[in-house]
Amino acid sequence: MLLVAILTSSCISCQAKQTGGSFIEGQSGGDAETLNWLLAADATSHSYIGHTIDTLVTYDNQLNIVLRCLARDIEVSPDGLVYTITIRDDLKWSNNSPVTAEDYVYTLKNLMFSDWLNYPYKGSWQEDVGGEKVLVTPEIIDETTFTITRQTIDAEFVYTVYDLIPYPKYIASKYEGDIEAFTQAPEFNNLTYTGNLGPYRFVEWIRNDRFVVERNPEYYLGKDIGAPYFKKYIVKLFSTSATRQAALEAEDITYTGIEPEQANKFRSLEHTKVYTVPTGGYTLLAYNQRANGWDGLENKAVRQALSMAINKEAMGQTIYLGFAEPAYSFIPVTSPWYDDESVVKYGVGPLYDKKRAAEILYQEGYGILLDDGTIKVTDKEGNPLQLTLVTNTGSKLVSDISAFVHRELADLGIEVKLKYVPWATLLRQYVKNSVPNTGQEPLSNGGPEAISTESWDLILMAFGSDVLAPSGSEIFFTTDGGLNFFGYYNPEIDELFDRVKSKEALDKNVRKDIYAELSLELSEEQPVNFLVFKMSNLGFQENVMGIEPGISTGHNYYLWYFE
Amino acid sequence: MKKSWLRDYTIKRLLYAVIIAWGILTITFILVRVGPSSPADKYLANIAASGQDVSQITAAIEARYGVDKPIFEQYSDYMVNLFQGDWGWSFSTSMPVIDLIKTHWIYSFQLILLSSLFAAFLGILVGIYSAVKQYTKADYIATFFSFIGISIPNFWLGVMLILVFSVKLGLFKTYYDTSLPLFSIDNLAALVLPVITLGTGMLAGYVRYTRSAMLDNLRKEFVTTARAKGLRERTVIGKHVFRNAMLPLVTIIMFDLGSIVFGGAYLTEIVFGIPGLGQISFNAIFADDYPVVVAVTLIGTLLVLLVNLVTDITYTYLDPRIRYD
């Protein structure tokens, strides 16, 4: 009986996971730039390549490591300086030769670290040693093992290593030293080398239209279970979210992201299902503390007062239609480093209080007391206060948030002048800054004396925070931070960011404490107003099975199948 | 005799076309290269964030794409390569520009050709009927709908057609499918909604122009003479009135053909996800992909010049009195 039951259930399982069909993912927001990933600057290129070649690990919805090309997790030496990486021994290139530690080390040393290729993200593999930028040292140990040695400790460097993917040395060495030939190499631009490294194999890429891969029967994770189960995986590009969503509704595509206002409609359709999942994406309102911003913004109490006047919960409800939650620091609630006790919740609950905000501004000298006892917020001279909010054009969401901020601050008596400019203009004229009359090249952080070409007070922007390694956000908040365009300088914050990468932070409990201190300090200081972390709605056809919705929904996508 | 001056005229116009195309190519090349943007811009935020030397990486990336040289050197290199058939490398799509154009021109061409045929055929027929039946119910209906057709934005019409015919009725796919064989019924079916979207505005315009041109000629003395000679009404309209009305119509149709190549077709391509040259050129502009921008501008220029030449030659056949010598 038991045997019959087992046979029956295994047979049902076989039938349920039959290979077939094309999974069509609808995307909008631009096509990839290249499949030659070392040259890519965009996320789409990496997402295309990811179908054909795996990184060392991926993460499940609880953010646990799931091994991919790694045979076992990376071993970090007790002193935190040596990383030992052991890859699987069954990885193969398309010519059937094994993928070895030599390929990984070659990719690092001869390609990513080389001068001729100028890999734009080489900085992730550099460390500061005695004031100089030094590259880490990769070394082959044996066929499947290599090490990466640092001279300084970085407790979160391991996350950089986890994302590594190799180039085949036997092909790449042909193009070594010749950037033009490397850029145009057909093997890299057509992904002809990926062997059994990914669930799918490249078929075609029609620019601005679709990227097509087919099932890879050799996939190292799928050969015993028959995965992946889709015959083809197609990424179809749409120029508008309206047509993308219409395609899902008409069952012309299998999966796409759903805009907040459409989520309920797709939930109610019989043939679709919608999952709401958290993301690391957040929106912030930067306060210009440089010399060409309103001088009040250099005062912490003023920044706190402004943040106290903007209702984050209402913003989440009215603009994101409930698909966002208030942000208090750069660490999302879903991050293992988030501590709800260690944040000051400006803009929420008792700390959303316009009356108190007006009182603070008055106490700081920015207001006058009217005869009826109310406070009118003004500048130091008693004139009406006008602030300029700059943001990018072309996004309804951004313009809705800007209008929301405009309304909230108008209640305080502050007139917010909204300025929408193209993204490139925003970067060149408002974000980049340099010290006047010095000939300094404009940078995103030209130092405390630097100012942007155009003056501004508030900039609305969206960023993504790394849920597992949020220390990357140091670029915004440290003195030397490459994207500290708003001019916030605080030695305590610098020290905390240093500590979060230091030897003591190798102990995860200590690291969590340091992150808690950082969150507390930044949410108290309000160098920017962290507004909301957004959630995503993922719309699938009802017959797609095997999905585990969460912050890392795609981690097991090679196991998805049609019912 | 006609052959001789027409041949001379055509050669002269072709020579002019080459000079004009070269001029426009040069201006476009200079405009796109002297702008403040750089192909390194897209990397800048990350470079700055990782604490690297921005100027060093920028220089390296500009060298990779050959935009680090003096503008004259870039220009002379480009022209030499162009004459050797090398249109450069598209760094926003990672393929040779010539291959990019070879892959994508057909999507624009089929859309524009079918839309023009649809609009010209129906528009002229309805316009003739409307003129012949002036001030009748049929004329009023045609006039009413042609005004609506002219007023509806392409973009809105396309989305509405998708919602009604694809989402609600399920008659067509919501997007254009490039995997369909080019010469197949399925491909033709996939083009129905895009062709209606792009063609409706043109069709409505042709109805108005045809009606107007026909009415102008219907009142002329040669029509009265033709009728007085006892010719059948069909012959009078078809052979005498319509032939004379054709002259302004040819100008308008050809002008439309030139202007929609990279203009009007773009929005339709966007709505239906057709990866034509309109989309390619638009994306290239925003990606600062200079080789593609210059190439598609050159192609657009040559097409417009060619269409103008064909229009002028067509005039001589429609109205033998026209001579260009």
pLDDT at A222 (0 to 100): 94
Q: Which residue type, as a one-letter code, is found at position A246?
A: A
Selected residues 46-75 of chain B with any CB under 8 Å from a CB in chain A: 46-52, 54-57, 60-61, 63-64
Using the beta-carbon criterion (under 8 Å), do A133 and B91 form an inter-chain contact?
A: no
**Bridge partners, A149 (sequence order):** A82, A137
* A430-433 contact pairs (CB < 8 A, 24+): A430/A390, A430/A454, A430/A456, A430/A459, A430/A485, A431/A459, A431/A485, A432/A485, A433/A290, A433/A485, A433/A487
Residue whose C-alpha is closest to residue A32's, from B93, B90, B274:
B93
Using the beta-carbon criterion (under 8 Å), do A33 and B94 form an inter-chain contact?
A: yes
Using the beta-carbon criterion (under 8 Å), do A31 and B283 form an inter-chain contact?
A: yes
Chain B residues with CB inside 8 Å of A126's CB? 50-52
Using the beta-carbon criterion (under 8 Å), do A33 and B60 form an inter-chain contact?
A: no
**Is pLDDT larger for residue A406 or for residue A462?**
A406
Selected residues 450-509 of chain A with any CB under 8 Å from a CB in chain B: 472, 475, 480-483
* pLDDT one-digit tens code per residue, A118-130: 887 888 899 989 8
- DSSP secondary structure string for all residues of B225-237: HHHHTT--HHHII
* pLDDT one-digit tens code per residue, B253-286: 887 777 666 566 888 998 999 999 888 888 888 7
Selected residues 215-274 of chain B with any CB under 8 Å from a CB in chain A: 270-274
Nearest to B51 among A36, A120, A123 (CB): A123
Using the beta-carbon criterion (under 8 Å), do A41 and B89 form an inter-chain contact?
A: no
* pLDDT one-digit tens code per residue, A409-463: 999 999 999 999 987 788 889 998 999 999 888 888 899 999 999 999 999 998 8
Instruction: Read off the pLDDT band of B48 (50, 70, 90).
Output: low
Ranking A90-99, A364-373, B64-73 by mean pLDDT, the lowest is B64-73
DSSP letter for B26, please.
H
DSSP letter for A339, please.
-
* pLDDT one-digit tens code per residue, A148-188: 999 999 999 999 999 999 999 999 999 999 998 999 999 99
pLDDT at B253 (0 to 100): 84
pLDDT at B125 (0 to 100): 94
Look at strands A255-258 and A57-59 and give their pairing. Answer: unpaired
Q: Which residue type, as a one-letter code, is found at position A204?
A: E
**Is pLDDT larger for residue B2 or for residue A180?**
A180
Residue whose C-alpha is closest to residue B261's, from B294, B299, B207, B312:
B299
Instruction: Read off the pLDDT band of B53 (50, 70, 90).
Output: low
Selected residues 176-215 of chain B with any CB under 8 Å from a CB in chain A: 178
Selected residue of A207, A232, A271 to mutate for chain B interface (largest B Cβ count, 10 A): A207
Using the beta-carbon criterion (under 8 Å), do A33 and B92 form an inter-chain contact?
A: yes
Selected residues 82-101 of chain B with any CB under 8 Å from a CB in chain A: 89, 91-96, 100
Using the beta-carbon criterion (under 8 Å), do B94 and A189 form an inter-chain contact?
A: yes
Average pLDDT (B156-174) is: 94
* Averaged pLDDT score across all residues of chain A: 93
Nearest to A118 among B42, B57, B283 (CB): B57
Residues 6+ apart with CB under 8 A from A53: A165, A191, A194, A197, A198
pLDDT at A1 (0 to 100): 41
Chain A residues with CB inside 8 Å of B289's CB? none
d(CA A145, CA B10): 72
d(CA A179, CA B61): 10
**Bridge partners, A135 (sequence order):** A126
Nearest to A237 among B36, B173, B273 (CB): B273
pLDDT at B163 (0 to 100): 93
Using the beta-carbon criterion (under 8 Å), do B104 and A184 form an inter-chain contact?
A: no
Structure tokens at A285: 């309102």
Angle at B99 between CA B93 and CA B102, to 5 degrees: 120
Instruction: Read off the pLDDT band of B54 (50, 70, 90).
Output: low
**Bridge partners, A126 (sequence order):** A135
pLDDT at B307 (0 to 100): 86
d(CA B64, CA A120): 12
- pTM confidence score: 0.88
Using the beta-carbon criterion (under 8 Å), do B104 and A207 form an inter-chain contact?
A: yes
Q: How far is CA B264 from CA A254, B177, B201, B269, B300, in A?
A: 31, 20, 10, 9, 13
Nearest to B64 among A183, A242, A428 (CB): A183
Using the beta-carbon criterion (under 8 Å), do A118 and B64 form an inter-chain contact?
A: yes
Instruction: Read off the pLDDT band of A542 (50, 70, 90).
Output: very high
Using the beta-carbon criterion (under 8 Å), do B167 and A183 form an inter-chain contact?
A: no
Shortest distance, CA B12 to any CA of chain A (angstroms):
39
Look at strands A65-67 and A57-59 and give their pairing. Answer: antiparallel
Residue whose C-alpha is closest to residue A157's, from A481, A472, A517:
A472
Using the beta-carbon criterion (under 8 Å), do A482 and B162 form an inter-chain contact?
A: no
Shortest distance, CA A177 to any CA of chain B (angstroms):
12
pLDDT at A248 exceeding the cut of 90: yes
Using the beta-carbon criterion (under 8 Å), do A126 and B51 form an inter-chain contact?
A: yes
Structure tokens at B303: 């097409």
Residue B244 has phi, psi (to 5 degrees) of -75, -30
Instruction: Read off the pLDDT band of A62 (50, 70, 90).
Output: very high
Instruction: Read off the pLDDT band of A40 (50, 70, 90).
Output: confident
* pLDDT one-digit tens code per residue, A252-284: 999 999 999 999 999 999 999 999 999 988 999
Ranking A146-150, A321-325, A330-334, A439-443 by mean pLDDT, the lowest is A439-443
Count of beta carbons in the 10 Å neighbourhood of residue A383: 8
* pLDDT one-digit tens code per residue, B198-216: 999 999 999 999 999 999 9
pLDDT at A9 (0 to 100): 43
* SS3 call for A271: coil
Rg (alpha carbons) of chain A, rounded to whole number: 26
d(CA A200, CA B313): 55
Ranking A136-150, A383-397, A519-533, B279-293 by mean pLDDT, the lowest is B279-293
Selected residues 209-268 of chain A with any CB under 8 Å from a CB in chain B: 209-210, 236-240, 242-243, 246-247, 249-250, 252
- Is the alpha carbon torsion for A153, A154, A155, A158 positive or negative? negative
Residues 6+ apart with CB under 8 A from B27: none
Count of beta carbons in the 10 Å neighbourhood of residue B114: 17
Using the beta-carbon criterion (under 8 Å), do A33 and B43 form an inter-chain contact?
A: no
